[in-house]
Structure 1
C-alpha cells in the first residue's frame, strides 16, 4: 500500500525548501551534513534561513531519494529517452538514477526522479523505500 503523498514547503529569504515525507528513506545525509538547516528532533525540523541559500541548495541536491527539493529544482521534470542506472545497495534499497513513470495500483501515475525502491518488502510506502530495512536488519 502506498503512503499518501505529503509535501511541506519551508520558505526562507534565499530558498524555499520542499520536503516530501513519503519519499524519504532516512539516509540522514541532510541533518548530518547541514544540521543548522535540517534540525533532527526539532519542530519545525527545517530552518530555511539556517545557512546561505547556495549551501542549502547544494545539500538538497545530495538527497538520494529526492524527498528534499527546492523551488525551481523540480521544473521541467519529464521522461526522456536515455539510459537509466540502478544500483543495488548491500542490505538496502535499489537506487535508480533517472526519471521513471510509475502506474500505481489505484490507477494514478507519477513521474519520479531518482526513485529509491524497496528490496526488503517491509516498506509502508511500496514500491518506494522508507528506511525499514535498517530497522528489520534486512540482509541481501
Structure 2
C-alpha cells in the first residue's frame, strides 16, 4: 500500500491514499495544513505539533497516521470506543467504531480494528467498504 510521510522534526504525518474516504475532516480542521488543491497537499509547517496530532486522530478512515520522533507509529483514530458504535456520515459512508468481524459474501471473515467505513452509495470498487466514490458521484442522502 502506498504511503507518504511529512515531517516537521517532532512529528511525522503518514498518509495512505488508498484508505482515504475523502470525508474532508482534516481539511476543515486544519485548512492551513491540509490543502487538497496543492502539491504536496500536506503542509506540515502550517500548525503546531499538538494541533497536528489532535487533527490526525480525527481521521475516520485511518488514512492519516503519525509517529513522534521516538519512531513509534500511532494509528489515526478517534478516541477508542468501549464498544462498537455506528455513525451515518451525511452524504457519505456508514462509520463503525470499535473492533468488529465482517463476514463477506464469499464467506471469508475479516477483522477490522477501531474504524471501518462501509459504502452507502453502492458505487465503491471495494465493497462493502467505502473508497470515497460517493464524492465523485455526488451521492446525497
TM normalised by structure 1 equals: 0.74
Q: Does 1:74 align with 2:75?
A: yes
State the shift of 1:110 in Å. 6.2
Alpha carbons of structure 1 residues 110 and 47: separation in structure 2 relative to 1, 3 Å: farther
Give runs of ≥4 in structure 1 deviating > 4 Å.
101-105
Alpha carbons of structure 1 residues 90 and 58: separation in structure 2 relative to 1, 3 Å: closer
Q: How does 1:110-125 map to 2 (within 5 A)?
A: 111-125=112-126
Q: Does 1:85 align with 2:85?
A: yes
Q: Which one of 31, 39, 53 corresponds to residue 43 of structure 1?
A: 39
On the 8 A contact 2:62/2:75 being kept in 1, the answer is no
State the shift of 1:128 in Å. 2.3
Q: Which runs of 5+ in 2 are unaligned?
A: 68-72, 77-81
Matches of 1:6 and 1:100, distance apart in 2: 25
Secondary structure of residue in 1 paired with 2:51: helix
State the shift of 1:116 in Å. 0.9
State the shift of 1:86 in Å. 1.7
* Cα root mean square deviation, aligned: 2.8
Matches of 1:58 and 1:66, distance apart in 2: 14
Give the total of aligned pairs. Answer: 130
Secondary structure of residue in 2 paired with 1:42: coil
Secondary structure of residue in 2 paired with 1:95: strand
State the shift of 1:137 in Å. 4.0
Matches of 2:93 and 2:114, distance apart in 1: 15
TM normalised by structure 2 equals: 0.74
